[in-house]
Amino acid sequence: DIQMTQSPSSLSASVGDTVTITCRASRTISHYLNWYQQKPGKAPKALILAASSLQSGVPSRFRGSGSETEFNLTITRLQPEDFARYYCQQSFSTPPYTFGQGTTVEIK
């Protein structure tokens, strides 16, 4: 299986800050990396597919970058609704598709 490792596991930030979450794959996955946002009691929501393709309706303050084994999700000008848990997921190799362990973005 391809292991996905996110860092940090949690971070504290204020409204208006810029934060970056990193996701590393245990082997190269080209650009086959997706990002999801999950709020308590809700299903994950797709933010970015294929490393950098912003999904319809997702604010432009979310940006994905990277390739091969290292990827970033950057959120600029944090808004109150952005405080949530974020997951990366590789869509390169199956079975199985695998997820990172998640990063919680908390209000400072």
Partner 1 sequence: QVQLQESGPGLVKPSETLSLTCSVSGGSISRYYWTWIRQSPEKGLEWIGCVYHTGFTNYNPSLESRVSISLDTSKSQFSLRLNSLTAADTGVYYCATGEGGSGNFQYWGQGALVTVSS
Residues near partner 1, by CB under 8 A: 1, 32, 34, 36, 42-46, 49-50, 55, 87, 89-92, 94-102
CB nearer to partner 1: give 9 or 79.
Answer: 9
- Which of 75, 100 has the CB closer to partner 1? 100
Q: Shortest approach of partner 1 to residue 16 CB, angstroms?
A: 29
Closest distance of CB 24 from partner 1, Å: 16
**Which residues does 94 contact at the CB level (< 8 Å), separation at least 6?**
none
Q: Which helix H or strand E contains 90, and what residues bound it?
A: strand 85-90
CB-facing half-sphere around the CA of 92: CA atoms within 13 A: 20
